[in-house]
């Protein structure tokens, strides 16, 4: 079972009780849990981040982490796997050996990235992370509030983590827009604003908005989305 928390593309952060039920369900099914937690330090809502590894005594957990998100260095394909398995099930079943074997046959990250890792791990000041989270909190608030001003777009839940949110597109209010892909294509051409069509992540007629951007630029971009929607609104 794979769980992504904090979530991409929705910006959700699961509660302790929910994660415990996931662990208990996985145990009943006799399967392990793979926890993608690359956004673990980018949370800013009411739900605190809970690592899936705390439920390792219930079910074996393999946790995935990454440098690129917390340090905001997209493209730095440098991460890690951690096993949380006090009962040694993953070792007994040969899964740990399989992971190590796979890592031995794959290419390593670029050497200059490897050289930079000790420096950034040891010397990045704490206020660097605080500023990032504060910016994401402000940007998430802007994103949630500004989308309320656009009738054809609905944001079901304010994001509490990561740097993304999914919004629902109401095509019945628009003319000359066939689907989410068509919406994003025309938006890019007319307003130079890029959104990801939901179909790319399996949610047709939804849109993924990235709010990891300086707040004033985000506000400007959402203003352009609003203007675009107003131009394409069906005439009464």
Tens digits of per-residue pLDDT, 86-99?
Answer: 999 999 999 999 98
Q: What is the pLDDT of residue 79?
A: 87
**Phi/psi of residue 180, each to 5°?**
-65, -35
Q: Is the pTM of this model over 0.85?
A: yes
Q: Is the pLDDT of residue 19 over 80?
A: yes
Instruction: Tell me 54's DSSP state.
Output: G
Q: Is the pLDDT of residue 140 over 90?
A: yes
Q: Is the pLDDT of residue 217 over 80?
A: yes
Q: Is the pLDDT of residue 76 over 80?
A: yes
Instruction: Give the Cα separation of 132 and 135 in Å (integer).
Output: 5
Q: How confident is the model at residue 103 (pLDDT cuts 50, 70, 90)?
A: confident
3-16 mean pLDDT? 95
Q: What is the average pLDDT value for the chain, to the nearest integer?
A: 94
Taking a C-beta distance cutoff of 8 angstroms, is the pair 62, 35 a contact? yes
Q: Is the pLDDT of residue 108 over 80?
A: no
Instruction: Give the Cα separation of 7 and 5 in Å (integer).
Output: 5
Q: Is the pLDDT of residue 236 over 80?
A: no
- In this structure, of 58-67, 97-106, 135-144, 226-235, the range with the lowest mean pLDDT score is 97-106
Full set of structural domains in the chain with CATH: 2-123 (3.40.640.10), 127-231 (3.90.1150.10)
Q: What percent of the chain has pLDDT over 70?
A: 100
């Amino acid at each position: 079972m794979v769980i992504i928390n904090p979530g991409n593309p929705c910006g959700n952060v699961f509660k302790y009780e929910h994660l415990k039920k996931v662990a208990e369900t996985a145990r009943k099914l006799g399967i392990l849990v793979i926890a993608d937690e690359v956004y673990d330090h980018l949370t800013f809502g009411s739900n605190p981040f809970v690592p899936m590894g705390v439920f390792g005594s219930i079910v074996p957990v393999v946790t995935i982490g990454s440098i690129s998100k917390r340090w905001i260095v997209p493209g730095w394909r440098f991460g890690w796997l951690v096993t949380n398995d006090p009962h040694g099930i993953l070792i007994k079943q040969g899964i740990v050996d399989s992971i190590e074997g796979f890592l031995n046959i794959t290419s390593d990250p670029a050497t200059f990235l490897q050289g930079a890792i000790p420096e950034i791990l040891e010397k990045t000041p704490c206020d660097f992370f605080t500023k990032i989270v504060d910016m994401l909190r402000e940007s998430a608030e802007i994103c949630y509030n500004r989308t309320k001003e656009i009738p054809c777009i609905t944001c079901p839940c304010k994001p509490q983590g990561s740097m993304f949110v999914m919004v629902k597109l109401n095509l019945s209010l628009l003319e000359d827009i066939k689907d989410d892909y068509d919406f994003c294509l025309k938006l890019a051409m007319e307003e130079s604003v890029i959104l990801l069509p939901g179909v790319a992540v399996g949610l047709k007629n939804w849109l993924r908005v990235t709010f990891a951007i300086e707040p004033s630029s985000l506000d400007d971009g959402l203003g352009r989305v609003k203007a675009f929607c107003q131009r394409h609104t069906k005439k009464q």
